Structure 1
Amino acid sequence: MLSKEIMQFNDLRYEIRAYACYLFNRNIKNQLPHIELSKVIEGLHKIQGEIGVTDALYVLNANGEQVIDAISNDPDIHGGKGSNLNDRAYFYRAVKEKKCILTDPYPTQNSGELVVTAAYPLYNQEGELCYVVCMDMRIEQALLLSRPTPLSRMFGGFSQSVYFLLSVMLMAVAFLLFIKGILSMYHAVLHFNNLDIKEVFEATILLTLALAIFDLVKAIFEEEVLGRSKGDASKAVHHTMIRFLGSIIIAISIEALMLVFKFTIIEPDKIIYAVYLIGGVTMLLVGLSVYIRFAYAAGEK
């Protein structure tokens, strides 16, 4: 479950950061002639009361020292005033980038739970750094900031159910093709002395199609039902698509080969249809090559 939350955070991090920055900008004034700490604390209490999903809110001065006790609804989180946090990534990143930032998930020193921190630097009118306002959130709390509407949640659940049912049905198709392919091979072995090469070709096609459909189901189920990664998993999707199309091309190529043998022996005047099918296979190969070229070029960017 934790890995799923991390992947969800990676997908939603820009929305979470945007909302956190919006909260800071709306409740705490920046670029003023004089920034009062009491006004900053008042803004933090407004944020805490508005969203209520933070672990802790606190303020660092220009040297990275915590100037107030942490504001939190958790009784286990308190104090901290006077702590030197100038070596924390959220402090020096906010100072360096001079804008609101959101960290990657990291474990806390106390409980080891994964948290993220939004940091917002405050400057006076002369551009001098006065404070850095920080908001710690557990990763599941951060995800709540971008929680979808009831309608989108309902549609998301419906889509997930549909993908699950389609995956089950496609898996059943792949299983039936696999069983049929095995039976064809078994029949060919039992009647080896009277072996019909057509049965071998048909078994090969059935098993190839079963493999292609299984790969497709695996990609759909992992991404749409289990909600696994869309980051590097996009490469896995490319690999699955290539394997799927490759399996289809192999199956059609085998069928074209069967037609060449059949028409050569029985109906030579119809061999042109086998040539058309081979041409279609060639076009599929060209299309697959173009797909691979552009898919991996986009991935490198």
Structure 2
Amino acid sequence: MKEIVAIYKNNYSFIENSLTAMVDSIDFDEYDILVSKSIFALFPALKATYKINKKFKQSTPLYTQENVDNSSIGLDKAHLLDRIQFRDDNIYISNIYVNSRSGTPFITVVIHIADEYIVCDFELYTLLKELSLIEGHEYFSEFTRYFYTLFGFLLALFSLALIIYAIYITWTIVLDSDKDLLSGLFRSIIALTLALAIFDLSKTILEHEVFYKSLSRNNNLENRLLARFLTSIIIALSIESLMVVFKIALSDSSKMVHAFYLIAGVGIMIVSLSLYIFVMRYNGKKE
């Protein structure tokens, strides 16, 4: 919703002029014929339309792309028209609002012709697509969608493979009592942590690029992906560092300096990630 509103605000003049051109191209003297035959095919973003007579009563059914609703004929629409300030060309274009029927953002255009008012409800998302303000080239968009689908599910499969590997390690430890229990458990935890990080990356890609594709490109998605993935990597490295410390402490304490270097590296990563998140949030507040 926020991305749609941002696109609308940045392109307000262009969208308003485009809507004006759309309604100007309609011959409303043939309104009933257009509604029954072609108006919704000509303008996919137009989702509903109806007429209001000079007594401010709805004089036609509510025409939608799916059906015709006669139940609203005769309803008093004075409360809507009282708040309307028409332009010099007798056209009113509303602000964005959430349609009660669909729950999606809409824009309403009202045309005053003679003693009648013609109301046209446009779905903003479809309108932005028609005006090429979202999405890209149709075929390229489809290609990238399929690629992200393949890539996302492959990542999910690798995540599943890591989970199976972690279970396998734990199972071999249970069956073979001679194996190092502590080392095996740590390796299982690391594998599970990496599996979670990879699955989280896969889920985010599929959500934003395939199933619920973002409406605009910004840096927030990439920043969230990087921050979440690095967090999982830091957790895995922290567990590995702890395992190295235990191993060195039990075998040769003279090599403890190597464990120190590893822990120091993890500490540097934590500080760097913290600074990165701080800068990201600061820039987000400025925007």
The two structures have a TM-score, normalised by structure 1, of: 0.63
Match of 1:118 among 91, 95, 108: 108
Consecutive unaligned residues of structure 2, counting only runs of 5 or more, are none
Paired letter, 2:97: T
Match of 1:34 in 2: none
Q: Give CA deviations for 1:2-42 in whole Å, capped at 9, x if unaligned.
A: xxxx899668655896565213544789xxxxxxxxx9957
Change (3 A) 1:185 1:150: closer
Match of 1:105 in 2: 99
Mapping 1:125-274, distance limit 5 Å: 134-137=119-122, 142=127, 145-146=130-131, 152-192=137-177, 195-227=180-212, 242-266=227-251, 268-274=253-259
Paired letter, 1:173: F
Q: Give CA deviations for 1:121-157 in whole Å, capped at 9, x if unaligned.
A: 88xxxxxxx9987422467864663468997111111
- Partners in 1 of 2:147 and 2:280 — Cα distance? 27
Match of 1:22 among 17, 23, 28: 17
Q: Is 1:287 the counterpart of 2:280 in the alignment? A: no
Match of 2:56 among 50, 65, 78: 65
Quote how far apart the aligned CAs of 1:204 are: 1.2
Greater RCO structure (CA 8 Å; 6+ sep): 1
Change (3 A) 1:171 1:143: same
Change (3 A) 1:269 1:117: same
- Partners in 2 of 1:293 and 1:113 — Cα distance? 35
Q: For structure 1, which segment, 251-260 or 143-152, has the greater mean C-alpha deviation from structure 2 after superposition?
A: 143-152
Paired letter, 1:245: L
Paired letter, 1:119: V
Q: For structure 1, which segment, 149-158 or 180-189, has the greater mean C-alpha deviation from structure 2 after superposition?
A: 149-158
- Partners in 2 of 1:41 and 1:264 — Cα distance? 86
SS of corresponding position for 2:109 = strand
SS of corresponding position for 1:210 = helix
Q: Give CA deviations for 1:166-225 in whole Å, capped at 9, x if unaligned.
A: 112111211111111111111122234653422221111111111111111111112211
SS of corresponding position for 1:116 = strand
Contact 1:198 1:258 in 2 (8 A): yes
Quote how far apart the aligned CAs of 1:292 are: 3.6
Quote how far apart the aligned CAs of 1:276 are: 1.9
Match of 1:275 in 2: 260
Q: For structure 1, which segment, 156-165 or 69-78, has the greater mean C-alpha deviation from structure 2 after superposition?
A: 69-78
Q: Give CA deviations for 1:90-109 in whole Å, capped at 9, x if unaligned.
A: x56654999732432232xx
- Partners in 2 of 1:246 and 1:239 — Cα distance? 11
- Partners in 2 of 1:21 and 1:248 — Cα distance? 48
Contact 2:145 2:209 in 1 (8 A): yes
- Partners in 2 of 1:274 and 1:115 — Cα distance? 56
Paired letter, 2:171: Y
Quote how far apart the aligned CAs of 1:263 are: 3.8
Quote how far apart the aligned CAs of 1:226 are: 0.6
Consecutive unaligned residues of structure 1, counting only runs of 5 or more, are 1-5, 30-38, 123-129
- Partners in 2 of 1:286 and 1:40 — Cα distance? 65
SS of corresponding position for 1:283 = helix
Q: Give CA deviations for 1:243-265 in whole Å, capped at 9, x if unaligned.
A: 53332111111222233334445
Match of 1:56 in 2: 49
Quote how far apart the aligned CAs of 1:163 are: 0.7
Match of 1:127 in 2: none
SS of corresponding position for 1:106 = coil
Report the RMSD for the aligned CA atoms in angstroms: 5.2
